[in-house]
Amino acid sequence: FNASYEEAAKDLGANDAKTFWEIVLPLLAPSLVGVGLLTFTLIGIVKPVFVLNDFARKTSIQLGLNL
């Protein structure tokens, strides 16, 4: 993040909140969307692995094969 953006906003009279909402957040939006998509996808992949692994520890082979 270039500090000149913040300096320009201060020169125009913006406070810290306005600088964040109107300058910093729009610059970070693509990165935040990417992190959100990766998190959503990985939760969908990793959560079943934990559930199935926990289920496998609590059951016998015969019961697991019948399901």
- Return the structure tokens found at 13: 């009279």
pLDDT digit string (tens) for 24-38? 999 999 999 999 999
d(CA 42, CA 38): 6
Looking at residue 13, its pLDDT comes to: 92
- Return the structure tokens found at 32: 């935040």
> With a cut of 50, which residues of the chain have pLDDT below it?
none
35 class by beta-carbon count within 10 Å (0-12 exposed, 13-18 middle, 19+ buried): exposed
